[in-house]
Amino acid sequence: MWWSKFHKNQLKYTRGYLIEVMHSDTVVISNVTLVNSPAWNIHPVYSSNIVVQGVTILAPTHSPNTDGINPDSCSHVRIEDCYIVSGDDCVAIKSGWDEYGIAYGMPSEHIVVRRLTCVSPTSAVIALGSEMSGGISDTAVGRGAYVRDVFVRGMSLDTMKWVFWMTGNYKSHPDDKYDPNAVPAVENISYQDVVATGVTTAARLEGIQGAPFRGICIANVTATLAKSRKYPWTCTDVEGVSAGVTPAPCQPLQGAHDGACPFPTDTLPIDQLVLQQCTYSIPSS
């Protein structure tokens, strides 16, 4: 299979994606099952008004880079009612890599993910990055741009290494021409109404020295650890508030809060797109 050859360095070319949509507007991918993709399964890039609905994605949990759905430099995206088994991230929101992404400058924005079931033993349910140089929580010095205004709530998780992982030290770069002074801004991230069991560590939050991650809000979160830990949270260079969080968060997040994180109340334009079923017939010759 693809993955065996990848591990043995026997591939001459990059592994393909099952579905890639480029420079497109108003695309619906629905009610399909994708099995054993060589790499990413669904990759909309430089596109807008994308709906991915009722999709099943199945890949061996040991298969590398078999991300489920990766909107990349896309706007107005709706992902809902999907079931994903993957060897990598189930959903990863991206926007270009280092200088390439900065030069193109097309952010990923106005994206909603809801009613997602994810099975991935080693990676994220929903990842932001690491490719995010056009703007969109994995990031690193050299990537530049931003991750901001991210709202997460209503999640049930089981058997997790971390409930929350944000890092400013991801390090991977496509070449040696990246700008080491391109420091990303990460701010206004809200997590609320999350229940997790079988957790190794509640959170690993690693900002950037001199450019801390700001505006983090965590509320009504319960993480049950598989084993008791002296330090269930690891935090450096982050700033924020919390309320109703168990176990108690690290000191930089213990600012008082009224019990609810800020969440937008307006409806995204992509939610106003209504899908209708149509019938057609092929005339006999």
Give catalytic residues, as residue numbers.
Answer: 88
- 34 and 258 in contact (C-beta within 8 Å)? no
Alpha helix positions (H), the chain? 2-7, 98-104
**Partners of 146 in the β-ladder:** 185
- The single-letter DSSP state of residue 252 is G
Give the residue among 244, 246, 192, 242 at the shortest CA–CA distance from 224: 246
- 208 and 237 in contact (C-beta within 8 Å)? yes
Q: How far apart are CA 144 and CA 166, in angstroms?
A: 15
Compute CA distances 100 → 20, 73, 136, whole Å: 19, 12, 15
The owner of tokens 């770069």 is 173
The number of beta carbons lying within 10 Å of the beta carbon of residue 274 is 5
CA dihedral 137, 84, 267, 132 (to 10 degrees): 30
- 182: three-class secondary structure by DSSP: coil
Give the residue among 163, 221, 219 at the shortest CA–CA distance from 195: 221
